[in-house]
Structure 1
Amino acid sequence: MNSKYEEAKEASKQNLEETQDIPTMVCVQEHNWLALISQLKLLTDTLFDVKAQTDETMTYAQMKQYLQNQRTIYNQLLEQGKEIQEQTSQNVTAEVSKLDQAAKDLVSQAGKLNEQTLSQLKCAEEQSRSHGFRLLRLVVLIEFLHLISSVALLLWLR
């Protein structure tokens, strides 16, 4: 009996709440109807835009195919990159070898040029020394002749 009493009490409470809920009256004017129609048109346009976007969205199968194509392209680019890297490495190695050989040739030429310069300097030094000895002999000869002429003059004047 207690549960029937509780049910009746609950039903009475609900009926009381419904009787107290008095709806307000609304007067809809023309500008309200126009705004409502405009809002419905805007919502309809938005719905069409959303539908168009969902039609453009890929399905799972399409996305899977697209990703497989991208993976294939990536792998091809990776292989091309490796080939380019190998070719570049070979070219760099060849160029380094050429530069190394050019450096060795340059060192060899510098050594030869150094030897030639030293040889020419020795020749110039010998020529200079020889020329110096000639000048020294000439000076000694002139001084000797001067001495002899002075001695001869002194002997003659006595």
Structure 2
Amino acid sequence: MADLQRRNAIKSLAALFGAAITPVAATQLFDKTDDNHFEVLKTAAHRDVVTQMQAVILELEPNDQLYFNLVAFTDLMLANTLTLTERTACVKGAELIAEGVLSSSQLVNKLTSLFTISSQQQQRIIAQQALPFSEVSLDKRDEYLIYKCIFTVREFLLLGYFTSEKLQAS
């Protein structure tokens, strides 16, 4: 039974990946070698948030972080799979996360505190994410945008990591 579930998960992931990445988008990913090619993560603060989320979520070594190029992959996915409204919410969330942070260690600490929440708070945040932005109370909008960014970027980081060539070769 577990083998069948694993096969279904792999098939679903492959279908998602195949639908999300067109040949043109894949070519664009390989062309992203400098800061001028980012479509959604245009500022260094946006890219820093994704880089530090990668470090917190995947716990990659610095050498592996360079190999996987997950920041460029995340930017590509944001640009090609989300609506303009979703992209805008994600970028605004990244700005709110980076706000007031002066160093990468402060950013890691802030991200870690956003991930280490109680189960009650987690349930509340998940319920809040199910609502459209217009229905979120004014005092909770920043939190909504921060977690919209976290959930979206986390999904793309995991997708990029688990479908990478390096893991498939292992």
For the aligned pair, the TM-score class normalised by the smaller chain equals: under 0.3
TM-score of the aligned structures, taking structure 2 as reference length: 0.18
TM-score of the aligned structures, taking structure 1 as reference length: 0.19
- Whose relative contact order is higher, 1 or 2, with alpha carbons under 8 Å and at least 6 apart? 2
Larger helix percent:
1
Structure number with bigger Rg: 1
